[in-house]
Amino acid sequence: MSRLVVHAETDPAQVIADTDDAAAIARLLAEVGVRFERWDARHALGIKSDAAEILGAYAPEIARLKAEGGYVTADVIRLTPDNPDHPVLRRKFLDEHTHAEDEVRFFVEGEGTFYLHLGGRVFRTLCCRDDLISVPAGTPHWFDMGPAPRFAAIRLFTNPEGWVARFTGSPIAEGFPRHGE
């Protein structure tokens, strides 16, 4: 189930808001310019479903997002605990960073947590199957897939190079609860 916990940036123990209501999550995130919607990830994925199959299954949704946001490419990130690269990928996404473009993700399987650092607060956003999140360009954030990741998300980009991060150098992520721990 999706969940949003808003913390004071200087005190992770200070909880400002905590909700699992999708409408409340969407409203609270919209107040800081973040798009959050519940969609229907209606296609069951098999263990062997590859990126092409996933992109094909969600082609209408991808086309709509491309038309709305000017995105030129889409790919799939799918990780499971048996992927030998998952510890390296987790570490890569755990440091606070920004992007020159919006970070758009549609979760079609599993879950992961986005941490959005905005206005003196950290918005800890657990995204699950059926969740669409769009983090505006320039927003400091990090992502945690947990120690045993299990998720698939469609990613959309305006930059044909795909995921390009600018790390802030801030240690803020180290003080907040990790996903799945």
Mean pLDDT of 20-46: 93
Note the pLDDT of residue 165: 87
| 69 closest CA partner among 128, 136, 118, 165 | 136
Could you list the residues known to form a binding site, using ranges: 97, 99, 103, 141
Query: Cα–Cα distance between 113 and 178 in angstroms, integer?
Result: 8
Q: How confident is the model over 38-93, as pLDDT tens digits?
A: 988 788 777 778 999 999 999 999 999 999 999 999 999 999 999 999 999 999 99
Instruction: Average the pLDDT over 108-120 and give the result.
Output: 97
118-166 confidence digits (pLDDT tens): 999 999 999 999 999 999 999 999 999 999 999 999 999 987 776 788 9
Task: Say which CATH topology domain 3-166 has.
Answer: Jelly Rolls (2.60.120)
The predicted structure's pLDDT at residue 154: 95
Residue that the structure tokens 């801030």 belong to: 170
Residues with Cβ < 8 Å from 47, sequence gap 6 or more? Answer: none
Give the closest residue to 109 by CA, choosing from 45, 60, 22, 39.
45
What pLDDT score was predicted for residue 160? 75
What pLDDT score was predicted for residue 126?
Answer: 98
Rg (CA), the chain: 15
* Binding annotation for Ni(2+): 97, 99, 103, 141
30: pLDDT strictly greater than 90: yes
Binding residues for Fe(2+): 97, 99, 103, 141
Number of CB atoms found within 10 A of residue 160's CB: 7
Show the tokens assigned to 32.
Answer: 């800081």
What is the model's pLDDT at position 3?
Answer: 98
pLDDT at 109: 92
pLDDT > 80? residue 181: no
Residue 15, Cβ neighbours under 10 Å: how many?
Answer: 12
Q: What is the DSSP letter of 159?
A: S
**Contacts with 83 (C-beta within 8 Å, 6 or more apart), sequence order:** 89, 149
Domain borders along the chain are 3-166
Q: pTM for this structure?
A: 0.94
Please count the residues of the chain.
Answer: 181
- CA-to-CA distance for 176 and 13, rounded, in angstroms? 9
Closest CA to 170 of 130, 107, 122, 102: 122
